[in-house]
Structure 1
């Protein structure tokens, strides 16, 4: 027995020593990296340089946090933030040493709204008389949409180009549920609240088909018209190219004037050399996004006044909140701090969320509404700001969005997983003993009782009514107007500005400028929030020596089921009520 005790103690001691040594090494590397990469002075860009804008990387709505280890080992080049991309383009436009841009956008990972923001920045760059040349081995439709702004587009002769219009696919599970006894119990409010439709039907309802077609048509019209304007092709011509399926090879794209040349990256570089009047022996000078941004600092230490940009990204959950989820914990605390900060003159809330917890949405609305009594609050919508994402936006003074933003979805639902059919098929019988009628509430092993369903309906009706009141108050609309725009229907940004759900079409930087004008600021610093503290606890929070069945279940569970599963696990019943986008709108 003593042998095993000594053996286990030795193993535990060895593991502890190893972990401490590992942490020490990490700290040493981080400290060394901080010293090595600390900027000694502002960098400069050489004359006749070209901005090398390679967007075939991960693109986030907020600039990635600074990590000394990633920078030291050059691991940070695989992630770019939307603000730093647009900042580099704008600074390159004003920098006399930068002549043009070499663009790569084969398979851009950004959303449609983010991609359009980059495209707008590139259009402004061209107004300075500078060139943009694009090359791709292959073009996704989104990548081509961005590249279509270029002066010349090169495509690999053996590559491919996607130009086919837009489509969205929705899966239905009713037969699957009936077959295997696993189902979702559903209560909903809103004619178009179709997040739960796949659990109830085997085919798409006319209302859902109508709203999806409306959204896709409006999005396509924006994309098609902007491509046509820059390629000198009419909308009818572009639609005809797709309807007649004329694009099968790169040569077809050249024939139809979608691109300018078939060639390789070397051919593009030869074109740049010719444009810069360089001899064949002279090498081209390329500047990265970081090079351009570091050549002209955006922060002015002599200016105290600030515009705060608060990033709210991801599903809305009840809890603390992270960089990829929105919750009342960190966001309420941050908004309260911004209210007290005299240097912060206005707040821009950047929302990129399909919605989520109704309770958390209301908590966030309350604090945003209170903040705007002290200083202006403006909302900038990203790729999506729907349902709960739109709910919190209504607390602001002004709402801005992109034409390609998905918003609206004013409706409520609750869905709870139920395994009663499965356990019955397996021969498992469940019995209940209660002190009062319906004391059990909801059980995953029994069908939803009428009493519980009635309670859920009342709660959802109350939440839906409150949601509509928030919209009516925030958008200065009467309740009858709100009802026609509600019922869970989804709108594009262009449709939303026409029906009064938002104020204007603008990107994030335009919203920041609007906030500065509102408080009469010419000079200010833009500061990003929330501030997430990095600690050893957060570093190791995702590490585990074992993978439980709950984690395996989450890995196997389809993405669209995960919000319902997470909220079913919540101990707070109010978290089960969802203000969520009616479906996972994946646009192909």
Structure 2
């Protein structure tokens, strides 16, 4: 009897689950179809509205895709794209019904360059005579840098305030390799090409320490100067307060004019009511980024001229490419398509990449050279465009970078994993049979031979020479100058401008404006590329970002960098020669 009860319960449960699955699927299809059939209505903005700018959510360089499912699952503003943030702030500054902004930037999950772009947009907003009030439960250093533009900064009475200067931490793996029998065979070129240093040493070289220190100092000077300007604090005083740890408490931060008060979100709402000349307990009409962006259509069907914005994000690998991996497949095809499109008048290539495959970098460089024959290509450097990322950028007609961007790293290396020690400890031995002395070339189960190392060194020298030639010709710099600023050395965007690696200081918006002026058009539509298949899978990928799934993986591998893990487990012969950052950039 119990068997039949359990059997029937199991069958009933299965059919119930299937029924729910099909019901939800039909709801999704129906809802999606209705959205596709009837375009989003333009939303009106009420008088005395305030833009609620909560930046404590994942911020991507490109606007999140698959808006239909975002709407169905009410995920608007759970993941924000940098363009939509800047667009909303710009629209709000021009809309007389939007009086100000309530800012939340406790722990803004964006790069320094992206953060500065948002900050500059907020400054333009303020210059229109509108207010910005900031409230935070706690303020990280990056969050405070952004909030410093506010008319008033209110912090929770038991919150945390951080302003301590910059630091970068580099992990070294020599002892780890010796202990577990995993060794990276390294061939490199360049005084500063220290991407491989952690495999060879237990301590930081003077060359690496010098370049990191120079980079941090230059970036800090920009942050410090801009904070001091908006908070009306002397630069030397700000450095003194940090050096002497004079702002370790909220009371100290308040006394030194770094924040304006301690309170709660309701206090900020009351301040906004006063600013709006409303009653203290009146409800403020807060509006979201998506609401502001839907208040005015960005696309004008009557305008035929277009500027293409091509987003290239992630490591550079040989293959097809995705939203988070730069590869020749989709990107070369996209550039060819844009070259043949007469409505596309200019191309802005937004690069956010630490580099990667030398071969793929060359293929993308060549593709840009071909496109330039028909229309201009301008590069906007995001948080980083280093090594292979800069190799690609060097082909552009103009290069823009933010002062806080990281670029350069002109150098080449090869790092090949040798697992012989590990496999021997596990009782695994490898034997080979060859028709010629060097037929096997490289194997992870044996040390590389002197002949193989010699040939790899020749390839690196040849690739390094080509890299310098691309930079010399693309930037119109002498061979001597290029050699002096190469050797794997990394630079801030500000430093890169001073030595001629970039043409102008500016973000994505400034690059787009420069492109429009270059081709002589004032009215144009912006079109984002590459175009990837937008389906439920891509939606779930975006959803995983909003839920922090990737962050969990990063935490799991926090003591063993994910990029190094991938190098050990997924080394492709095509990608052996690397143009990549000399160390993992994490500026705290």
Answer whether contact 2:69 2:539 (CA < 8 A) is retained.
Answer: no
CA distance in 2: counterparts of 1:309 and 1:26, whole angstroms = 34
Change in Cα spacing, 1:201 to 1:40, as seen in structure 2 (3 Å) is closer
The equivalences for 1:325-404 within 5 A come to: 325-404=325-404
Please give the root-mean-square deviation of Cα atoms over the aligned residues, in Å. Answer: 2.4
- Identify the residue that residue 561 of structure 1 maps to in structure 2: 564
Where do 5+ consecutive residues of structure 2 fail to align? Answer: 1-9, 543-552
CA distance in 2: counterparts of 1:393 and 1:347, whole angstroms = 13
- Does 1:227 pair with 2:230? no
Give the TM-score normalised by structure 1. Answer: 0.92
Most deviating of 182-191 and 105-114: 182-191
Answer whether contact 2:554 2:562 (CA < 8 A) is retained.
Answer: no
Answer whether contact 1:30 1:69 (CA < 8 A) is retained.
Answer: no
CA distance in 2: counterparts of 1:311 and 1:353, whole angstroms = 10
Secondary structure of the 2:175 match is: helix
Change in Cα spacing, 1:192 to 1:428, as seen in structure 2 (3 Å) is same
- Identify the residue that residue 5 of structure 2 maps to in structure 1: none
Answer whether contact 2:64 2:80 (CA < 8 A) is retained.
Answer: yes
CA distance in 2: counterparts of 1:318 and 1:305, whole angstroms = 33
CA distance in 2: counterparts of 1:394 and 1:471, whole angstroms = 6
1:54-77 CA-partner distances (Å, limit 9, x unpaired) = 101010000000232331121233
CA distance in 2: counterparts of 1:101 and 1:554, whole angstroms = 33
Change in Cα spacing, 1:440 to 1:215, as seen in structure 2 (3 Å) is same
Answer whether contact 1:34 1:68 (CA < 8 A) is retained.
Answer: no
- Does 1:114 pair with 2:117? no
Secondary structure of the 2:196 match is: helix
- Identify the residue that residue 145 of structure 1 maps to in structure 2: 145
CA distance in 2: counterparts of 1:95 and 1:33, whole angstroms = 31
Answer whether contact 2:31 2:72 (CA < 8 A) is retained.
Answer: no
Where do 5+ consecutive residues of structure 1 fail to align? Answer: 1-10, 543-551
- Does 1:464 pair with 2:464? yes
- Identify the residue that residue 546 of structure 2 maps to in structure 1: none
1:502-542 CA-partner distances (Å, limit 9, x unpaired) = 00001101110100000000110011100101347868999
Change in Cα spacing, 1:242 to 1:40, as seen in structure 2 (3 Å) is closer
Change in Cα spacing, 1:90 to 1:239, as seen in structure 2 (3 Å) is same
CA distance in 2: counterparts of 1:434 and 1:33, whole angstroms = 59
- Identify the residue that residue 420 of structure 1 maps to in structure 2: 420
- Identify the residue that residue 100 of structure 2 maps to in structure 1: 100
Number of equivalenced pairs: 564
Change in Cα spacing, 1:562 to 1:331, as seen in structure 2 (3 Å) is farther
Answer whether contact 1:156 1:250 (CA < 8 A) is retained.
Answer: no
Runs of 4 or more, structure 1, over 6 Å off, are 17-21, 536-542, 552-555
Change in Cα spacing, 1:508 to 1:567, as seen in structure 2 (3 Å) is same
Secondary structure of the 1:159 match is: coil
Give the TM-score normalised by structure 2. Answer: 0.92
- Identify the residue that residue 77 of structure 1 maps to in structure 2: 77
1:488-514 CA-partner distances (Å, limit 9, x unpaired) = 000000000000000000110111010
CA distance in 1: counterparts of 2:18 and 2:413, whole angstroms = 46
Secondary structure of the 2:159 match is: strand
* Superposed displacement of residue 264, structure 1: 0.7
- Identify the residue that residue 320 of structure 1 maps to in structure 2: 320
Change in Cα spacing, 1:553 to 1:455, as seen in structure 2 (3 Å) is farther
Secondary structure of the 1:531 match is: coil
- Identify the residue that residue 434 of structure 2 maps to in structure 1: 434
* Superposed displacement of residue 205, structure 1: 0.3
Change in Cα spacing, 1:25 to 1:263, as seen in structure 2 (3 Å) is closer
Most deviating of 25-34 and 439-448: 25-34
* Superposed displacement of residue 20, structure 1: 12
1:306-336 CA-partner distances (Å, limit 9, x unpaired) = 0000000000111110011100010001000
